[in-house]
Structure 1
Amino acid sequence: MKKIIWNDKTFDFGDRILNLQNQHVADLLNMIHQSPSLLSDRDFITSALEELFEYSQECLGHEEDILTEISCQYTQEHKQRNWEFLTNLSTLSAMAENGSLVFPTKFEEFVEDWWENHVIREDLKCRTCISTGKRGKCSFPQKNN
C-alpha cells in the first residue's frame, strides 16, 4: 500500500470527529510503511494497539450513533463490522502479548484491510447521509467473504 496523502475533500466523511479519527488511522499506516521496524518495537506496538482500541470506542461508537440517529438502513451491518474489528483487534493484542512472530505481518494486514475496506469502501459511501443528518441513498457494499 502506498502512502496515504490526507486530503480533507477526498476523505471527508461528513463528520469532523470521524474525519479526525480516520486521519489518525491513515497516519498510523503511514508510520508503519515508512518504518516497518516499528512493528518490532514493544512500546510502539502497545501504543498502536491502545490507540486502535480507543478508536474503536470513540470513532466507531460515534459512527454507530450517527447511523442510528438518521435511521440508516445499514446500521446493523456497520455494527457487525465494527464488532469484527474489535474482535480481530483483541486477537492481535493477544498475539502481541504472547510475542507471536507473525504479529507484525498480521497487524499491518489488519490495519490496511480496515482502511481499504471499511474506512474507504464503506464509510465514504455513507458520507452524504452523515453530513446531512438524513437517511439517504447510501450504497453500502456487501461484505466479501
Structure 2
Amino acid sequence: MFRSKAVVPIRPKRSDDKSWFQPVNIRPGQIAIRFDLGLAVQDDLILKGQIDAAAAVLERQLSKFRKAKGISEKAGRNRKRAQVLLQLRILDALAIEATHAHHANLVWGPDTSEKKFVDAMKSALDMAQEGYLSLAAIGNKVPTVK
C-alpha cells in the first residue's frame, strides 16, 4: 500500500547549526535522490528534467530490487472499480421525488433495501458537489483560475 509518508523530503540543517550536512540512513529497499532546486529556479524545465531522470533511476533500482527478491513485475493490484455510472444512476434517481426505498428499486431493481441506497447516496452526492463531474467534463483542458 502506498503511503504519502513513504516520500520524505530531507532538507539541509538550518544554518545556525553551522552545518549543512544531514546524515541519512538508507535501509534496504530505499533510495535517496537529491534534487538541486537552485538550478531550477530560473527554468521549470530543469526541474522536470531532474524528475524524469529520477524516475528512470527509480525504475532501474526497483527492477534490480525485484530481481534480488525473486519477485516478478506487477502490472497492478486488484482495485475496486470506479462507481461513476452507479453514482450517476443514484443522482438521476434522486431527481425523482420519491422515497429512498423507491429510489433503491430504480437503481438496483425490486426488493433492494432502502439502506443500500442511503449508504451509496453520500458518495454520489460527494462526487457531484465536490466538482468531480466538472473535472471529468473538461478532460485534458486546464481550468481557468478566477
Which is greater in Rg? Answer: 2
Question: Higher RCO, 1 or 2 (CA under 8 Å, sep at least 6)?
Answer: 1
TM-score, normalised by the number of residues in structure 2: 0.30
TM-score, normalised by the number of residues in structure 1: 0.30
